[in-house]
Amino acid sequence: MPTAMEIVLGIPEKEKIHRAMGSIMQGALMEILDSETTKMLHVDGLRPYSQYVYFDKNKNLPIWRVNSLNEWVFEKISNAVTRQRQIFLKHKNYRVDFLKCDIIAAESYADIAARFMSEIAPICKGVELEFLTTASFRRDGQYVIFPELYLLIQSLINRWNKFAEGFLIEDDISHMMSTFCRVTEYNLRTQIFLLERQKITGFCGNMTVKFEGDRVVNNMLALLFEYANYAGVGVKTALGMGAMKTKLQK
């Protein structure tokens, strides 16, 4: 069951958060999880969660968002977070308080599939995409710094199929599905994501995509982009990259 959890962070008064802090929070998360869980999370290529840090301007609060892609990892992470009143960030040399923890969204894979793929589901015409943190893809040993539609769809299908048992999508239809999409607007820029020993060049910003297939194709695209709110896209989503916010057009 995809689940989104948001933790309000209490940081020292003179400190500021930035979106590259996702990599630091990933390290802190590994420290509060039990050793068996951290070992299992490092086995698979696609990790069953994504997470990132952002500042909520409306609430005037720093937020740590953790998205779980299955029930097992949600239970492990939520239990670890609720046990902790604070956490020490070694790279920053200060403590962060967990002031409040809320589950803001939770929906089973079956319910997501039914919402978009049932015979009575309204047809979706497109989607507005917002890349909240630096996103990038890896191809031929290089980072891709533009959100190619095929790569976006392929990334989401891979994640969906990894965790949505019983509701699989054909792996080889990414190219076909991308031909039924058209970018109508974009406001994008390159952006650097800082990791401990490297700098990854990616992109951030906004993009609007129009769907041009039949009802089945359009709604399958809508399902995937809805899932992007939980899964993120591209590389290193567990480290804070590739966070997305999407708004479907009906």
Q: Are residues 126 and 244 in the same domain?
A: yes
What is the domain extent for residue 16?
Answer: 3-106
201 Ramachandran zone, left/alpha/beta (phi>0; psi -120 to 50): beta
Residue 63 in contact with residue 53, Cβ under 8 Å? yes
Supply the pLDDT for residue 92. Answer: 78
Q: Quote the crossing angle between the two packed helices 22-32 and 71-83, to the nearest 10°.
A: 90
Q: Pairing between strand 3-10 and 199-211?
A: unpaired
Tell me how many domains the chain contains: 2
Query: Do residue 97 and residue 53 come from a single domain?
Result: yes
Amino acid 44: pLDDT: 60
Q: Which of 78, 106, 134 lies at the terminal end of a domain, its last residue?
A: 106
pLDDT by residue (tens digit) across 21-40?
Answer: 888 888 888 888 888 888 88
pTM for the whole structure: 0.92
What is the domain-level CATH number for residue 16?
3.30.70.1890
Q: Is the domain of 100 the same as that of 147? A: no
Q: Is residue 117 part of a domain?
A: no
Q: What backbone phi and psi angles, to 5 degrees, belong to 197?
A: -125, 10
CATH number for the domain spanning 166: value is 3.30.70.1900
pLDDT at 226: 96
Q: Are residues 137 and 86 both part of a single domain?
A: no
One domain, residues 238 and 160: yes
pLDDT under 50: residue ranges of the chain: none
Under 8 Å between Cβ of 21 and 240: yes
